[in-house]
A and B are shown apart, each in its own frame.
Chain A
Amino acid sequence: MSERFFPDAMPSPMADNITLPWWQHAAEHRLVVQRCTACGATRIPPSPVCATCRSEESEWQEVTGRGEVYTFTAVHRAIAPDQPLPTVIAVISLEGSGGLRIMSNLVDVDPEKIEIGMPVEVVWEDMSEDLAVPRFRPASS
């Protein structure tokens, strides 16, 4: 198992048949975006058709896991027992994704030192054998 940052009791994701493959890739520690094979536009969350060309055809494109902080908040109220506080929730601009962002947490960081634009990298947290959740920490270099 990987390093743990949050307790088991954190809310687990819900998914339908369109978004489930994203979580299946995550379980293999692969951070992906959905790419339209007709026009090349990328999207997250996964959706049934490309909002640019309306094609249903798509593929999963792996990204580097590097990015930068777009915005963030340090949350001081727990929703799960033993949740570390403050919990930093951030929006991350993903390198090589065609301009996409995802929501995540920042870990291994002093909340007072977070700045918008700060470079970060993914760190996978295995919540169980079936579920891995991507968190981010300050980039190592």
Chain B
Amino acid sequence: MSRRAHIVGVGETQYARWGKITDTPEHTLAIRAILNAVDDAGLTIDDVDGMSSFAEDRNEAVFLAAELGLPTLRYANMVWLPGGGGGCAAVGNAAMAVETGQAEVVVVYRSLCQGQFFRFGNAGVDDWGAQTPTPTVTQAQNPMAASMGFAMPYGMLMAAAAYALPTRRHMHLYGTRPEHLGQLAVTFREHASRNPRAVMGHKPMNIDDYFASPMIADPHRLFDCCLESDGACAVVVTTEERARDLKAARVEILASEQGAPEGFAFGPFTNANVADEIYATGACEEMAGRLWGKAGLGPKDVDVAQIYDHFTGCVVMQLEDYGFCERGEGGPFIESGALAWDGGSLPTNTHGGSLSEAYIHGLNHVVEGVRSLRGESTSPVDNAEVCLVTSGACVPSSAVLLGRK
């Protein structure tokens, strides 16, 4: 029997604006999301023997396994790629575990309470901005901190500013316009309007609202930026053999890839010397080629996409990286209405994305990818068979291709 990896369950907690979940610790949210996903799969927690997460998750697998009462923890894995680039890689690592027999049932989880810890949008000052009485150079404890030394003295501590840099250059090189970014944000908000889980589902937005939102880091207005959220989600990965016996529709992990281009490090956030050829991109093109090659598919085979949307410009560049349009044509591609659920050629972020559903470091995009193939999305795409899910771009990234069986 086949050990091909499948996603058989998805689940989440309530999603809320940052700071709205104060009395429930992050690891409790993780546990609830995992139990919901396991239940969705028709499994019990006693079936789970592996755990996988990413982005320096505070909620370590060994503690969750003990709190959940896992009979045995055979596999526990954390992706090394920093930040939201690792979500799909965590799914890929779960797939590797079950396909190689290191585990039978792996839960991939992410829990994030920005209200209980520091807010990403608040520039990470709490993390990086420790001040001495007199300005001086302080000790860096690791290569990441040493590279931050070449960004932080200039006030570069905020992702909205970091990813404005490649987006600004993309606008310079290709004529991408604020109207393109705005249409993207409006489209995802429209998708969120049907999604009861979406934090912004009850707040309609039109292009005038977009242009009225305050400038954060030019060209990023407030509505170009993802939400800051509290919540957790999880997906359950197991073998085809196990999946056959379960109640839910099976979704196969057709391919997964991760990585970073040569010399990329953390990307344009701290590295001013990202290669010129890939500076105004999501830095995913080479990885995308590996992904298509492994699956034997191409961009034309994708019926629905869930694309990591920390910032609008990063989606524009990913659309080009993954070959949905030519380099530099991301703006006009959006202008064509391609991303719209209703009639678009590439319905994208049918849950509303991180811009309008919630920011759970993009693992909620994997959840929505599964729902879109099961026909359970609140913005369903008829007969969708192949879904691309991507993780954070302009950082070391990862992606999965999912297929309905």
Contacts and interface: CB of A to CB of B under 8 A. Distances in A.
Interface string A103-141: 111000001000010000000000110110100000000
Interface in B153-199: 153-158, 160-161, 164-166, 168-169, 172
Interface in B124-179: 125, 128-129, 131-132, 134-141, 143, 145-158, 160-161, 164-166, 168-169, 172
A87 B218 CA distance: 11
12 contacts: A11-B131, A12-B135, A12-B137, A14-B140, A16-B139, A20-B137, A73-B161, A76-B215, A91-B268, A91-B272, A103-B150, A103-B272
Contacts of B19: none
A56 interface: no
B136 A128 contact: yes
Contact of A133 (B153, B216, B270, B280): B153
Contacts of A89: 154-156, 161, 165, 217
Contacts of B156: 89, 103
A60 interface: no
Interface residues of B, number: 52
A101 interface: yes
B292 interface: no
B123 interface: yes
B336 to A, nearest CB: 27
B158 A19 contact: no
Given A11-B153, A131-B136, A79 B216 contact: no
B72 interface: no
Nearest to A116: B172
B167 to A, nearest CB: 8
A39 interface: no
Report, nearest first, the 6 A-B pairs whose CB atoms are least far apart. Answer: A73-B164, A127-B135, A13-B149, A14-B140, A11-B152, A71-B169
A53 interface: no
Nearest to B271: A45
B56 to A, nearest CB: 18
A20 B150 CA distance: 11
A38 interface: no
B165 A75 contact: no
A131 B220 CA distance: 31
B158 A75 contact: yes
A86 interface: yes
A19 B168 contact: no
Contact of A101 (B125, B145, B272, B280): B272
A70 B279 CA distance: 10
Contact of B214 (A23, A76, A133): A76
Nearest to B125: A79
A49 interface: no
A130 B145 CA distance: 19
Most buried by A among B129, B137, B138, B271: B137
Given A11-B155, A23-B137, A79-B155, A100 B273 contact: yes
Interface string A47-70: 000010000000000000000001
B273 A101 contact: yes
A83 B357 CA distance: 33
B217 A91 contact: no
Contacts of A130: 134-137
B263 interface: yes
Given A73-B165, A128-B136, 5 more contacts: A11-B129, A13-B150, A75-B155, A75-B161, A79-B157
A103 B135 contact: no
Contacts of A86: 218
B146 A83 contact: no
B54 to A, nearest CB: 24
Contacts of A131: 135-137
Contacts of B125: 11, 79
Most buried by A among B132, B156, B214, B216: B156
A8 interface: yes
Given A73-B218, A74-B218, A103-B150, A15 B139 contact: yes
B334 to A, nearest CB: 21
Given A75-B217, A89-B154, A130-B137, A11 B169 contact: no
A79 to B, nearest CB: 5
B137 to A, nearest CB: 5
A109 B160 CA distance: 22
Interface string B219-234: 1100000000000000
Contacts of B215: 74, 76
